């Protein structure tokens, strides 16, 4: 292990967790993440490989597959793959062999911050954050949107749990936006 201390995107040595109004906002730092992009002519093969890795069908457009190794769709022939950080710190090395040159894998682990938001009526919170029709973002779905000018992925883990994945450098601004919206929500 390196003799360096890792910081969370918000600058803490452990994932930050707070309760704001009716919502619990937690940093998620225990997932490694890699982008998977099918090489030319290999989209179908990559999908098959991904299905094997996930033990379930690879996510279709706007889809998200939960599990120890999870994935969500990000574009045509493109997915984000995440896995437990402790076992897959070098996530590209963990999976690149499985894809046998059919896909380009790029480490994305520290490019993003990830906030888990838990609480009732997350849809109402999201209506103050982004222009997503939350009626369509049910559990098992993912979408790309913008929150206060920050490009984000929304991954609906469950009815009462949403993960927001955003560029790491804007973690503080995003956290502020989520907190402000959480305080603003009226029931």
Partner 1 sequence: MTQTRRLTGGLIDRQRPLNFEFDGRKYTGYQGDTLASALLANGVQLMGRSFKYHRPRGPFSSGSEEPNAIVELREGARKEPNTRATTIELYDELIATSQNRWPSLGFDMMAVNDLFSNFLTAGFYYKTFMWPAAFWEKLYEPIIRRAAGLGKASLEPDPDCYDKGFLHCDLLIIGGGPAGLAAALVAGRAGLDVILADEDFLIGGRLNQESYSLDDQAGSVFAALRYEELTSLPNVRIMTRTTVIGAFDHGIYGMVERVADHMKVPADGQPRQRLWRVYSQSALLCAGATERSIAFENNDRPGIMLAGAMRAFANRWATAVGDRIAIFANNDDAHRTAHDLHQLGVEIAAVIDSRPEAPANDSFEVLMASEVVNTHGRLGLNSIDVKTPQGLRQIQVSGLGVSGGWNPNIHLTCHQRGRPKWDAGLSAFVPSVDLPKALFVAGAANGQMTTAAAIQDAVTTAMKIATDCGRKPTSLAIPKTSDESASITPFWYVTGTERGWVDQQNDVTVKDIKLAHQENFRSVEHLKRYTTLGMATDQGKTSNVLGLAIMAHTAGQSIPDTGTTIYRPPYSPTAIGVFAGRSRDMDFRPIRKTPSHKWAEEQGAVFVEVGMWYRAQWFPQDGETHWRQSVDREVATTRSSVGVCDVTTLGKIDVQGSDAAAFLNKIYCNGFAKVDVGKTRYGLMLREDGIAMDDGTAARLAEDHFVVTTTTANAVGVYRHMEFARQVLWPDLDVQLISTTESWAQYAVAGPHARNLLRKIVDAEFDISNEAFPFMACGAITVCGGLRARLFRISFSGELAYEIAVPTRYGDAMMRALVEAGEEFGGCAYGTEALGVMRIEKGHATSNELNGTTTALNLGMGRMVSTRKDSIGAVLSRRDGLVADDALKLVGFKPRRDSDSVPAGSHLMTKGSPVDAAHDQGYVTSACYSPTLGHHIAIGFLKSGDQRLGEIIRLVSPLTNIEHDVEVVSAHFVDPEGDKLRA
Q: 50 and 81 in contact (C-beta within 8 Å)?
A: yes
Q: Which of 35, 82, 163, 178 binds partner 1 (CB under 8 A)?
A: 35
Contact region for partner 1 (CB under 8 A) — 45-53, 56-64, 114-122, 146-154?
Answer: 146-154
Tell me: does residue 26 bind partner 1 (CB under 8 A): no
Binding mask 45-84 for partner 1 (x = CB under 8 A): ----------------------------------------
Least distance from partner 1 to the Cβ atom of residue 55, Å: 25
Q: Which of 37, 62, 140, 157 binds partner 1 (CB under 8 A)?
A: 37
Tell me: does residue 127 bind partner 1 (CB under 8 A): yes
Q: Which of 48, 55, 120, 184 binds partner 1 (CB under 8 A)?
A: 184
What residues contact residue 22 under an 8 Å CB cut-off, 6+ apart? 119, 120, 121, 182, 185, 187
Least distance from partner 1 to the Cβ atom of residue 66, Å: 23
Contact region for partner 1 (CB under 8 A) — 44-52, 114-122, 153-161, 170-178?
Answer: 170-178
Tell me: does residue 86 bind partner 1 (CB under 8 A): no
- DSSP 8-state assignment for residue 123: H
Tell me: does residue 183 bind partner 1 (CB under 8 A): yes
Least distance from partner 1 to the Cβ atom of residue 106, Å: 5
Range 151-155 contact pairs with CB under 8 angstroms and sequence separation of 24 or more = 153/72, 153/74, 153/80, 154/126, 154/130, 155/64, 155/72
Cβ-in-10-Å burial (0-12, 13-18, 19+) of 59 comes to buried
Tell me: does residue 43 bind partner 1 (CB under 8 A): no
CB atoms within 10 A of CB 36: 27
Q: Count, in order, helices (H) and strands (E) of the chain.
A: 4, 11
């Amino acid at each position: 292990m390196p003799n360096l201390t890792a910081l969370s995107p918000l600058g803490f040595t452990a994932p930050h967790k707070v309760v704001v109004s009716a919502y619990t906002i937690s940093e998620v730092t225990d997932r490694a993440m890699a982008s998977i992009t099918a090489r030319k002519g290999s989209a179908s093969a990559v999908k098959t490989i991904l299905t094997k890795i996930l033990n379930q069908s690879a996510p279709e457009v706007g889809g998200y597959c939960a599990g120890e190794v999870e994935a969500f769709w990000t574009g045509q022939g493109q997915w984000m793959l995440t896995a437990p950080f402790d076992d897959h710190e070098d996530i590209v090395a963990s999976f690149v062999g499985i894809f046998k040159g059919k896909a380009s894998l790029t480490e994305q682990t520290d490019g993003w911050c990830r906030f888990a938001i838990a609480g009732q009526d997350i849809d109402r919170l999201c209506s103050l954050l982004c222009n997503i029709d939350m009626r369509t973002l049910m559990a098992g779905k993912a979408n790309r949107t913008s929150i206060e000018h920050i490009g984000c992925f929304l991954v609906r883990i469950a009815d009462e749990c949403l993960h927001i994945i955003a560029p790491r450098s804007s973690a503080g601004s995003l956290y502020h936006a989520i907190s402000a919206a959480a305080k603003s929500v009226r029931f």
